């Protein structure tokens, strides 16, 4: 089976649209999870879904989708490159930021560790 050159934009558009749909679903799940979870440390899980599945994958998908949009002219490569760079920045900085925030909240005793078996860092916060 040989793929002709004319079919390449269609394939790229399908891949980009699939990544965008995945990202929209993950963003909605993350926003609902923020309301359903009871605790700051449990909400970190919803934040992870929203940052990686809800932002990195759709940014890559929109970069792939922007390549096929002919109306943007030469600037479609600009849009695609900026999207890839933004996806890489979010991939590196989002886990580091939420880790620093969780460490600060735990050290400042702002939120209690609610479903708790053992907390060796600070036993007062347990339970």
Partner 1 sequence: MELILIVMFIYAIAILLLSIIALKGPTIGDQVLAIDVLTYISLVLFTLLSIYLKQPLLIVLVIPLAFWVYSLDIYIAKYLEHGDLGA
Nearest residue (CB) to partner 1, 40 versus 126: 40
Binding residues vs partner 1 (CB under 8 A): 17, 20-21, 23-25, 27-28, 30-32, 34-35, 40, 43-44, 46-47, 50-51, 54-55, 58-59, 62, 65-66, 69, 71-72, 75-76, 78-79, 82-83, 85-86, 89-90, 93-94, 96-98, 100-105, 107-108, 110-111
Neighbouring residues of 102: CB distance < 8 A, sequence distance ≥ 6: 40, 41, 44
Q: Report the nearest approach of partner 1 to the CB of residue 68 (Å).
A: 10
Nearest residue (CB) to partner 1, 2 versus 18: 18
**Residue whose structure tokens are 């990202």:** 23
Nearest residue (CB) to partner 1, 12 versus 44: 44
Q: Report the nearest approach of partner 1 to the CB of residue 1 (Å).
A: 27
Sign of the alpha-carbon dihedral angle for 84, 88, 91, 93 = negative
7 DSSP assignment = G
Please check whether residue 33 is in contact with residue 103, taking contact to mean a CB–CB distance below 8 angstroms. Answer: no
Q: Report the nearest approach of partner 1 to the CB of residue 102 (Å).
A: 8
Q: What are the two backbone dihedrals, phi and then psi, of residue 21, each rounded to the nearest 5 degrees?
A: -65, -40
Nearest residue (CB) to partner 1, 1 versus 63: 63
18, 92, 87, 82: which is closest to 59 by C-alpha? 87
Q: Report the nearest approach of partner 1 to the CB of residue 5 (Å).
A: 23
Please state at what angle helix 40-48 crosses helix 8-36, rounded to 10 degrees.
Answer: 170
């Amino acid at each position: 089976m040989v793929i002709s050159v004319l079919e390449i934009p269609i394939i790229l558009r399908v891949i980009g649209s699939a990544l965008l749909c995945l990202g929209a679903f993950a963003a909605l799940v993350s926003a609902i999870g923020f309301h359903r979870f009871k605790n700051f440390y449990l909400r970190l899980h919803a934040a992870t879904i929203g940052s990686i599945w809800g932002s990195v994958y759709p940014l890559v998908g929109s970069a792939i989708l922007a390549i096929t949009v002919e109306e943007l002219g030469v600037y479609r490569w600009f849009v695609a490159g900026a999207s890839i760079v933004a996806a890489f920045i979010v991939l590196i900085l989002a886990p580091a930021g939420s880790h620093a925030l969780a460490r600060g909240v735990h050290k400042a005793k702002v939120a209690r560790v609610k479903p708790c078996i053992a907390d060796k860092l600070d036993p007062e916060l347990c339970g």
